[in-house]
Amino acid sequence: MWFLYALGAAACFGVRGILYQWTSQRPADRNLLFVGVYVSGALISLLLNLQARQPWNGGVQFGLMMGLFSFAANASLYRGYEVGRASVVAFFSALTPVIVVLAAYVLWGESLGFAQAVGFGIVVLALVVVRYGQDLRGGQLRGWQWGTLAMLLYSFTDLSSKQSVLSGASMLPVLTAMFASGTLLFLGMYALDRARAGRGAQAAEPGGSSALRTAAASPPAWSAPRTLLWGMTVGLTNIAGMVLMLNALQVGITGLVSAIIALNIVIVLLYARFYLKESMSRREAFGILLALAGILVLRLVS
């Protein structure tokens, strides 16, 4: 059953990735978007728990850790995209399942059988093939530090999620703590960016004519309510994915769950190919076939 939960989580996160990609082409504030995503998760978790009445027991602190690591991972990933090459950052961040499977062995003694190791290896190879870009072949590794940091932080998020399960923490309180802490962190980033923008506008006033022409040429930015509401809509896919992931971690091996969920990138690639009509290289097509083969192997041995 964990396998189906993990696939469901991958599907939810894949749809989330598609919505993120669509939103990235719109003039929306990224931090405010994430505020909406996390507010949605916090509200839904809280409302569901009013009905379920799950206890706020001792493992809720892992939800705070999940929120912190998730926030820091997203910030590192976007910082890497800003200062480095996208393919380099994506490549290193795709190696998260390797860190997770090694850490799970050290922390909890989780090990893979031979067939499981084969399936895991195929899935990780598929992720590497899909993410391997021209920049890596050319040796242009700018941004690898941020990609590596994002990889570690995403793995810490997965490991904190597993530890919350092992500690017997109630799912909905953990998710409420995660999304509430993430909301506060992204809200702080949004306020900080607004303050910086205000200071920058004041400093640019003496020569403001060029800035006015640039602003007039660009499309109007989304309003704060519109961005927040859209973020809350995207957040529905996020909390659905988290619920499925925590259910998968209850009975599944941590590294395998992490590897399957990481395949959500395949859904984004298929969206880009068939909806956006972007060309798909033979390398990416081969990576998708490898991913399907890895999923089949893991399904047969699960």
How does pLDDT run across 76-122, given as a tens digit for each residue?
887 777 777 666 667 777 789 999 999 999 999 999 999 999 999 99
Residue 258 pLDDT grade (very low, low, confident, very high; cuts 50, 70, 90): very high
Which tens digit of pLDDT belongs to each residue from 73-87?
A: 988 887 777 777 666
Q: For residue 212, tell me if it sits in a domain.
A: no
- Position 16 pLDDT exceeds 60: yes
Lowest mean pLDDT among 13-22, 39-48, 125-134, 150-159: 125-134
Q: For residue 216, tell me if it sits in a domain.
A: no
Q: For residue 217, tell me if it sits in a domain.
A: no
Of 51, 152, 56, 54, the closest CA to residue 99 belongs to 152
Q: For residue 207, tell me if it sits in a domain.
A: no
Token reading at 10: 């991958």
Predicted confidence at residue 197, as pLDDT, reads: 81
DSSP secondary structure string for all residues of 225-287: HHHHHHHHHHHHHHHHHHHHHHHHHHHS-HHHHHHHHHTHHHHHHHHHHHTS-----HHHHHH
How many residues are present in the chain?
302
In the chain, how many domains are there?
1
Q: For residue 210, tell me if it sits in a domain.
A: no
Lowest mean pLDDT among 61-70, 106-115, 168-177, 216-225: 216-225
- Position 187 pLDDT exceeds 80: yes
Token reading at 19: 């919505």
Q: For residue 236, tell me if it sits in a domain.
A: yes
Residue 7 pLDDT grade (very low, low, confident, very high; cuts 50, 70, 90): very high
Chain CA centroid to CA 54, Å: 26
Residue 134 host element (H or E): helix 134-137
- Position 18 pLDDT exceeds 70: yes
pLDDT, mean of residues 196-224: 66
Lowest mean pLDDT among 61-75, 202-216, 233-247: 202-216
Which tens digit of pLDDT belongs to each residue from 123-176?
A: 999 988 877 765 555 555 667 788 889 889 999 999 999 999 999 999 999 999
User: Rounded to two decimals, what is the model's pTM?
Assistant: 0.88
CB neighbour list of residue 175: distance below 8 Å, 6 or more residues apart: 41, 45, 63, 239, 242, 243, 246
Range of the domain at 105: 2-196+223-301
Lowest mean pLDDT among 25-39, 55-69, 149-163, 214-228: 214-228
